[in-house]
Amino acid sequence: MLHGKSIAIVDSAGGEYIWQFDQQSFSDTFFDSLAEALAALHSTDHDAAAKASVRIKSPKEARESFSSNIDQIKRSFTIPIILR
């Protein structure tokens, strides 16, 4: 939904990040900006977000949802032993 090129994407086969830029080229400004964005995201007022129709999950709910998704994937695909 954002314009421009992603910093990294997740490799669906291996689950690892594939960096789109040389990691050594990131400046302090990049890291400061990223830190500010993450801090702002994590300090979002949950009630305001819910009123704006943003799906809200507690950390426990997020972990359970992620675990459930992984279980569903395991039932649908053969996962190599090295990735388990």
Per residue in 44-77, pLDDT tens?
A: 998 999 999 988 888 899 899 988 988 888 788 7
Residue with tokens 């500010």: 36
Residue predicted with more confidence, 7 or 2: 7
DSSP state of 22: -
- Tell me: pLDDT of 14 over 70: yes
User: DSSP characters for 24-57?
Assistant: GG--HHHHHHHHHHHHHHHT--HHHHHHTT----
- Tell me: pLDDT of 21 over 90: no
Does the pTM surpass 0.75? The reply is no
- Tell me: pLDDT of 33 over 70: yes
Report how far residue 14's alpha carbon sits from residue 83's, in angstroms, rounded to the nearest whole number.
7
Residue with tokens 């789109």: 20
